[in-house]
Amino acid sequence: MMPILETQRLKLREFAHDDLEDLAAMVGDEDQMTFYPRPKTRDEAAEWLERNIALYEEYGFGFWLIEALATSGFLGYCGIRPLELDGASETEIGWHTKKTFWNQGIATEAATAARDAAFRRFGLSRLVAIIHPDHAASRRVAENIGMHGERRTSLGDYPAVVYATTFLLGTGRVQAEQRVASGAPQLLEICMRGRRARRDHRCSSSQGGRGRR
């Protein structure tokens, strides 16, 4: 399957139905799900997968599967999706990597690419991340990609810090962006034809500056 994004070490591509095994194994693991209410069952993982695949059709984006560029091995997921938060329509950026690959900069590298695609390819101007206050690793990922803690909120019983970042329209710069050691992502020039939402999003490249601003 054609990648949506490519970075120095990673490919991000759309999930397919037959990715359920890898996904269910990851989100069914207790360590992976420390900051979620509980691990997901296989059926819950399957529902998540179906909802996520439906997002691609409706919006042209969703959470994408992260693969190692060299081996195509499954590393987790990262991407963007619509979110209703405190009465506002937002776009959430999220990340989840396999524990055998933690602390290698994978989430930061994938999230940098997803952030740039959100702003430059999909024409969004603001992203939020919803992170448990005690989840230091995830908060670091948010900070690594230039997000700042905006406020506290709660999702049911789940206390959360809302991290946000804004694209400065007209300047082509991400607010408070920090350069990431793993390098700038290379957004692939992929024509997104034949899908309703994607017709609105012309192919663009983070390098060429021809994307929507």
Ligand X SMILES: CC(C)(COP(=O)(O)OP(=O)(O)OC[C@H]1O[C@@H](n2cnc3c(N)ncnc32)[C@H](O)[C@@H]1OP(=O)(O)O)[C@@H](O)C(=O)NCCC(=O)NCCS
Site for ligand X in 50-69 (CB under 6 A): none
How near is the Cβ of 100 to ligand X at its closest, in Å? Answer: 10
Rounded to an integer, what distance in angstroms lies between the CA atom of residue 52 and that of residue 33? Answer: 18
Query: Mask of contacts with ligand X, 148-177, x by CB under 6 A?
Result: ------------------------------
How near is the Cβ of 24 to ligand X at its closest, in Å? Answer: 15
Query: Mask of contacts with ligand X, 102-131, x by CB under 6 A?
Result: xxxxxxx----------------------x
Q: Does 192 bind ligand X (CB under 6 A)?
A: no
Determine the interface stretch with ligand X among 3-11, 94-102, 146-154, 189-197 (rule: CB under 6 A): 94-102
Determine the interface stretch with ligand X among 3-11, 64-72, 99-107, 119-127 (rule: CB under 6 A): 99-107
Per residue, the 3-state secondary structure of the chain, as one string, reads: CCCCEECCCEEEECCCHHHHHHHHHHHCCCCCCCCCCCCCCHHHHHHHHHHHHHHHHHHCCCEEEEEECCCCCEEEEEEEEEEEECCEEEEEEEEEECHHHCCCCHHHHHHHHHHHHHHHHCCCCEEEEEECCCCHHHHHHHHHCCCEEEEEEEECCEEEEEEEEEEECCCCEECCCCCCCCCCCECCCCCCCCCCHHHHCCCCCCCCCCCCC
How near is the Cβ of 88 to ligand X at its closest, in Å? Answer: 19
Determine the interface stretch with ligand X among 7-15, 16-24, 140-148, 163-171 (rule: CB under 6 A): 140-148
Interface contacts to ligand X, rule CB under 6 A: 32, 35, 95-97, 102-108, 131, 135-138, 140-141, 144
